[in-house]
Amino acid sequence: MRSGKIYKRLKWVFIILFLSAIAFYAFVEITNRNSKNMTARQKFLKAVYPVFMWFTGKKDNAVKHLSNDTIIPPVSFYNLKETANDGTVFDFEKLKGKKIMLVNTASDCGYTGQYDDLQQLSEQYQDKLIVIGFPANDFKEQEKGSDEDIAAFCKLNFGVSFSLMKKSSVIKGSSQNTVFEWLTDPAKNGWNRKQPSWNFCKYLVDEEGRLTNYFGPAIEPLGKEITEAVNR
């Protein structure tokens, strides 16, 4: 008798789990109905991005925000050059007079949904802000694709029109790209040594080439902290 009751309960648990799985699958597919060339993992991450951001915002104990807007960098930011996603040389001197947000990005990360917000940020403040993405495979190999794959993924799924650099390393070491070397070396930027703790860390450089802010991954691109810094 008892085994019969247990069987019925297990059967209902299985049915509920099965129906929940179907409902979640349908939710993921509907959420990503306009997505192109996305893996199942990428679709899942895009669908749960709002929940992920809420959770990490509550639980993230890493340094979220650093700022200093008074120190003149010992090495000029405008001396930097990097290779863009399309193989051309990107000269940062041409960005004088505008704020610049530099972000290390990845296509298979829980924060990948921030591409949407970064695009909106670049459009909303196009007269005063330049957003630049630096794809990197430094964290759990979450950016395995080629530069061509990355550009297509960002354009098709998030409408990204802001500049992307060639995939490179953003963490300290012999292969770190020159821009993130400047951003994380106080001997060059004047004060900050904080390197990216994960994908989608954001560094803000002001109109005069001073590094003014570091924002951790859990800080949303359209959040109050960032928009206030852009408007300052």
- Active-site amino acid positions: 109
CA geometry: angle 109, 114, 119, nearest 5 deg: 135
Dihedral sign computed on CA atoms, order 72, 85, 150, 137? negative
* CB < 8 Å & 24+ apart, contacts of 6-12: none
CA-based R_g, the chain, Å: 21
Distance CA 214, CA 226 (A): 10
Token duo for residue 177: 């790209």
Only one residue has tokens 């200093």, namely 68
Neighbours of 13 (CB within 10 A): 10
CA 34 to chain centre: 21
